[in-house]
Amino acid sequence: MSDFFRHAKEKLVGGTNVADEHLQRLTSKYLQPEQDYMQSKSRNTEALDNLVSVAAGKSTATEQQ
């Protein structure tokens, strides 16, 4: 095997896998830490509960009229 192909194989199989490095950069950029995720989920759940209760209140108010 020529040096060119050996070097290319080492780059693809070795510790300098370009795809893995790119994936790690994307992961660190876009994945939220666990605590941020839980806070966001809690806020979303609370907002949904408020929306449902307001919608339920309006429907009962219109039924009473």
According to DSSP, residue 32 is labeled P
| 44 and 23 co-located in one domain | no
Whether the CB-CB separation of 18 and 11 falls below 8 Å is answered with: yes
Per-residue pLDDT of the chain (65 residues; tens, 9 = 90+): 688 888 777 777 665 666 778 888 887 777 778 888 889 999 999 999 999 999 888 765 555 55
Domain extent for 4: 1-31
SS3 35: helix
| 36 and 65 co-located in one domain | yes
Looking at residue 45, what is its pLDDT?
A: 95
| 14 and 36 co-located in one domain | no
The pTM for the full model equals 0.44
Looking at residue 22, what is its pLDDT?
A: 82
- The alpha carbon of residue 53 and the mean position of all alpha carbons in its chain are separated, in whole angstroms, by 28
Looking at residue 50, what is its pLDDT?
A: 94
| 13 and 40 co-located in one domain | no
Total domains present in the chain? 2
| 57 and 40 co-located in one domain | yes
